[in-house]
Amino acid sequence: MQQLSEIAKERDAMATMGRLSSAFEGIASMRIGQIKDQVLQSQNFFSELWQIYSQIQVGDMFNFGRHNTDEIPIDKELMILITSEGSFSGDIDQRLVAEALKHYSPEKNDVIVIGHHGATQLTQNGVKYKRSFATPKKDRDINVTPLTQEVQHYRSTVVYYENYVSLTKQEVKSITLNTAVTDRGKQVAAADDIISEKNYIFEPSTFDVVNHLERSMMSIMLSEVILESKLAQYASRFRANSGAKDKANDRLLELVMYFNRGKRHIKDERLKEIMNGLRNKR
């Protein structure tokens, strides 16, 4: 009887686990849809900024918003690694760190990491990072200003992030930030309105406006790769919860079968006792 009671407890626990996994699976799916909408809005806003920027930019180079500063950029490549905050992301954080370290050299690179899990991975590999940031908890209005300010100090920046391919597939990608911005801009259609110093007044100066636009577009690109990484993380969670739900449901079916079999066995034993008692009376 005690064994049957233990089976019942495990059965109830598996049923609860299946319901929780299903709920978390649904939340992850909902967040994926919301972030996709956010990325689309971000891309549209970038296009609007680029249409202005392309008409008033000073020179052909994307200059990280440094046109009117005397600061000499650090002659290193900044590496930004975007990972998850916890370890519930499968193996993609490990793969991302491993890919970044293939190209890492202490003499040539400084590292900034987003996400506690990535920071832990770097520490375990003996890599010192310059700064770390927590993975944004919100999926909207992500503040990337501290990151943008760091980027402005370097001549070049490469970003490693987790790319969402599908619910079952996520991969590691990297972009060189200034190249990514200019390549995105080349795909933007020209604006209908002509924007120049002939028909507009730029305050406090054209250089300042160009700097602001470059910083804004950098912020958009950084926000997008963070959102893309969060998409991959949610997809990983979706897959993990889906797997947990399936395992819990499979185990639940087994336990229900064992429980019912146990109840039948008890009934059969009682029936035998009754029949034996009747025979003994005869």
Per the CB < 8 A criterion, the answer to whether 25 and 242 are in contact is yes
Three-state secondary-structure class, residue 138: coil
What is the pTM for the complete model shown? Answer: 0.73
Closest CA to 191 of 46, 55, 59, 42: 55
* Better-scored residue on pLDDT, 215 or 199: 215
The DSSP symbol for 77 reads E
- At the top level of CATH, the class of 23-239 is alpha beta
* Better-scored residue on pLDDT, 23 or 54: 54
- Given this model, what pLDDT does residue 212 score? 87
Six token digits for residue 70 = 């005397």
Q: Please say if the pLDDT value at position 1 is more than 50.
A: no
- Given this model, what pLDDT does residue 2 score? 46
* Type of residue numbered 113: V
Rounded to the nearest integer, the mean pLDDT of the chain is 81
